[in-house]
A and B are shown apart, each in its own frame.
Chain A
Amino acid sequence: MRKLFVMLAASALMVACGARQNASNTPQETQVVMSVEEILENASELVDAEVTVTGTVSHVCQHGGQRCFLIGASDETMIRIEAGEEIGAFSQEHVGDNLQVTGVLRLVPITEEYVANLDSTDSHDEHHALGYHGSGQVVPEAEAEALKKEQTEELKTQIENSEEGYVPVYFIEGLKYTVVEEAETAPEGEGV
Chain B
Amino acid sequence: MQLRKWLRILHRDAGYFIVGVTVIYAVSGIFLNHKYDLNSDFHVITQQVQVDLPPGPPFQEKDLKPIIESIDDNILYKRSFMTSQGYLKAFIHNGEVVLDPETGIGEMQILRKRAVVFEMNNLHRISTHKSWKWISDAFAAVLLFVTISGIFILKGKNGLMKRGIWFILGGLIVPIVYMIFLM
**Residues of chain A at the chain B interface (Cβ within 8 Å):** 15-16, 19-20, 23, 56, 58, 62-65, 71, 74-76, 83, 85, 88-89, 92-93, 95-97, 124, 137-139, 183-186, 188-192
Taking CB atoms, residues of chain A closer than 8 Å to B64 are: 192
A156, chain B: closest CB distance, angstroms: 21
A76 touches B84 (CB 8 A): yes
* A74: contacting residue among B84, B88, B131, CB under 8 A: B84
Chain A residue at minimal CB-CB distance from B58? A191
Q: Give bound CA distance, A70 to B122, whole Å.
A: 23
Judged by a CB distance under 8 angstroms, whether B89 is at the interface is yes
Taking CB atoms, residues of chain B closer than 8 Å to A93 are: 93-94
Which residue among B58, B62, B81 has the maximum number of chain A CB atoms within 10 Å of its CB?
B81
Judged by a CB distance under 8 angstroms, whether B162 is at the interface is no
A89 touches B79 (CB 8 A): no
* A192: contacting residue among B40, B61, B122, B130, CB under 8 A: B61
B79 touches A63 (CB 8 A): no
B39 touches A62 (CB 8 A): yes
Q: Which 7 residue pairs across A and B have the least CB separation, nearest first?
A: A96-B91, A191-B58, A183-B78, A96-B78, A89-B127, A185-B61, A88-B127
Q: Give bound CA distance, A189 to B140, whole Å.
A: 58
A192 touches B126 (CB 8 A): no
Q: Give bound CA distance, A163 to B144, whole Å.
A: 54
A92 touches B85 (CB 8 A): no
B159, chain A: closest CB distance, angstroms: 31
B128 touches A88 (CB 8 A): yes
Q: Give bound CA distance, A119 to B148, whole Å.
A: 45
A19 touches B65 (CB 8 A): no
Q: Give bound CA distance, A76 to B81, whole Å.
A: 12
B59, chain A: closest CB distance, angstroms: 5
* B82: contacting residue among A88, A92, A192, CB under 8 A: A192
Q: Give bound CA distance, A16 to B134, whole Å.
A: 13
A190 touches B81 (CB 8 A): no
A190 touches B129 (CB 8 A): no
Contact mask B11-45 → A, CB, 8 Å, 1/0?
00000000000000000000010011001111010
Given known A-B contacts A75-B81, A192-B58, A64 and B96 have beta carbons under 8 A apart: no
Judged by a CB distance under 8 angstroms, whether B83 is at the interface is yes
* A92: contacting residue among B35, B56, B83, B94, CB under 8 A: B94
Q: Give bound CA distance, A132 to B36, whole Å.
A: 15
Q: Give bound CA distance, A137 to B89, whole Å.
A: 10
Taking CB atoms, residues of chain A closer than 8 Å to B95 are: 95
Judged by a CB distance under 8 angstroms, whether B98 is at the interface is yes
B35 touches A19 (CB 8 A): no
Judged by a CB distance under 8 angstroms, whether B80 is at the interface is yes
Given known A-B contacts A74-B84, A184-B79, A95 and B129 have beta carbons under 8 A apart: no
